Chain A
Amino acid sequence: GAGVSQSPRYKVTKRGQDVALRCDPISGHVSLYWYRQALGQGPEFLTYFNYEAQQDKSGLPNDRFSAERPEGSISTLTIQRTEQRDSAMYRCASSLGVEETQYFGPGTRLLVL
């Protein structure tokens, strides 16, 4: 079946603009995760959902970052008033449940000028 999809694949924006990154998980997957990966680093956990409930947002760097999954399927990660340090690869993953294997999407590469 179809894997996790993310859009856009690439996003270039100017500092101060808001961006919304979308993740479409594998059908039937209850858990959805967001990670951020800077160049030369491993993915860094941001937040995750079980169904529509945000379970853990301890990894969100500051209040400019927010995420939602209103119907328990598609999720949106929003970054307000973007800064150059927000430039990174943003990865989404989904799994059947919390302790199940996470399947990753292709990622969205964000560049803030």
Chain B
Amino acid sequence: AQRVTQPEKLLSVFKGAPVELKCNYSYSGSPELFWYVQYSRQRLQLLLRHISRESIKGFTADLNKGETSFHLKKPFAQEEDSAMYYCALSGWGGGADGLTFGKGTHLIIQP
């Protein structure tokens, strides 16, 4: 069975400080990993996905297959980064085609 674990329910950092949101996964095949974000009163939207290797809004994430992790990082946090962040996995072709989400981490950036 595939599973995504986000160990932190809440993460609070000061503006300008580095941010790291942790994500670990369990999947027997070769997964595709995603980070979704939900800003206040907005819908869930894609922040980045592993396969595209893009940096969105200064965020990056590296897939570490040895540690089965896909941590989200940003060197200097901004107040507008405050939001709910979800890590998600898809095992296309090897499991259900829907996304498996973690429980989410609420990121608060303090001024």
Residue numbers of A with Cβ under 8 A of B are 3-4, 33, 35, 40-48, 55-56, 58-59, 91, 98-99, 101-107
Contacts and interface: CB of A to CB of B under 8 A. Distances in A.
Q: Is the interface of A mostly helix, strand, loop or mixed?
A: loop
B66 interface: no
A48 B97 contact: yes
Interface residues on B, range: 20 to 34
Interface in B74-93: 86, 88, 90, 92
Nearest to B4: A42
A59 B96 contact: yes
Contact of A33 (B6, B36, B49, B98): B98
A48 B98 contact: yes
Contacts of A35: 98-99, 101
A49 to B, nearest CB: 10
A15 to B, nearest CB: 27
